[in-house]
C-alpha cells in the first residue's frame, strides 16, 4: 500500500510509582503481582493505547490494575534498555503518581499491595532500577529537592 509507513521500533509503555508512608515511618511503594508472563511483582503500568497520551495511559493502567484513581506528580524518567521486557523491545515513561485508598487487584494483576522500600520482592522487567532511581531522588524535579544550606 503506497504511503503507509511501517514502524518496527519499540512499543511505548508507562509505569506508575505510588508511594505511601508506613506507620513505622518507612516508605512503601505500590506493586502488582502479574497474572500473565512475564510473571513477578511489578509497578502498575502497561502499554500506551492508540490516541492516548502517556499521562492518560499511566492513570488508566493504575485504575485498571489497582482500582486507584491517581494524580500525576511528575515524570521521573524514560527507560529504554532494549532488553528491559523479554516479550519485545519497549520504552517506558515512569511517573510519580499520588493516589488515595486501598488497592484492589484488577485487569492483569493477581494481587496489589504496598511493599516497604527496604523489603521489596524480586521485581520484573527493569522495575528494580526504576524504584531505586525513584527512592534515591535521582530524577526528582528541582522543586522537590531542598536547596543547600547557605553559608553564613
Question: 32 or 7, which is more confident?
Answer: 32
Residues 6+ apart with CB under 8 A from 134: 17, 19, 29, 76, 94, 96
The helix/strand count (H/E) of the chain reads as 2, 8
Please check the confidence at residue 110 and state whether its pLDDT lies above 70: yes
Residue 38: CB atoms within 10 A of its CB come to 11
What is the reported pLDDT for 146? Answer: 60
Task: Give, in degrees to the nearest 5, the angle at Cα 17 between 14 and 23.
Answer: 165
CB 61 within 8 A of CB 70: no
Cis before 38? omega within 30: yes
- Tell me how far apart the alpha carbons of residues 119 and 42 are, in angstroms, rounded to a whole number: 14
Full set of structural domains in the chain with CATH: 11-141 (3.90.79.10)
Is there a cis peptide before residue 94, judged by omega within 30 degrees of 0? no
Cell representation of residue 13: 509503555
Is the pLDDT assigned to residue 123 strictly greater than 70?
Answer: yes
Q: Output the pLDDT for position 112.
A: 95
Least-confidence region, from 24-28, 36-40, 117-121, 133-137: 36-40
> What does the pLDDT look like over 42-70, one tens digit per residue?
999 999 999 999 999 999 999 999 999 99
Confidence check: pLDDT of 80 > 70: yes
Task: Supply the pTM of this predicted model.
Answer: 0.86
Amino acid at each position: 500500500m503506497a504511503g503507509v509507513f511501517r514502524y518496527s521500533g519499540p512499543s511505548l509503555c508507562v509505569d506508575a510509582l505510588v508511594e505511601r508512608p508506613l506507620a513505622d515511618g518507612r516508605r512503601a511503594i505500590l506493586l502488582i503481582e502479574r497474572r500473565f508472563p512475564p510473571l513477578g511483582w511489578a509497578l502498575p503500568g502497561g502499554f500506551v493505547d492508540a490516541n492516548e497520551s502517556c499521562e492518560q495511559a499511566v492513570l488508566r493502567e493504575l485504575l485498571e490494575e489497582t482500582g486507584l484513581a491517581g494524580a500525576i506528580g511528575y515524570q521521573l524518567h524514560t527507560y529504554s534498555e532494549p532488553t528491559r521486557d523479554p516479550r519485545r523491545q519497549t520504552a517506558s515513561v515512569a511517573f510519580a503518581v499520588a493516589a488515595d485508598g486501598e488497592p484492589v487487584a484488577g485487569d492483569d494483576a493477581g494481587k496489589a499491595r504496598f511493599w516497604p522500600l527496604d523489603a521489596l520482592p524480586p521485581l520484573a522487567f527493569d522495575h528494580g532500577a526504576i524504584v531505586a532511581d525513584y527512592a534515591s531522588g535521582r530524577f526528582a524535579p528541582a522543586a522537590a529537592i531542598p536547596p543547600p544550606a547557605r553559608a553564613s
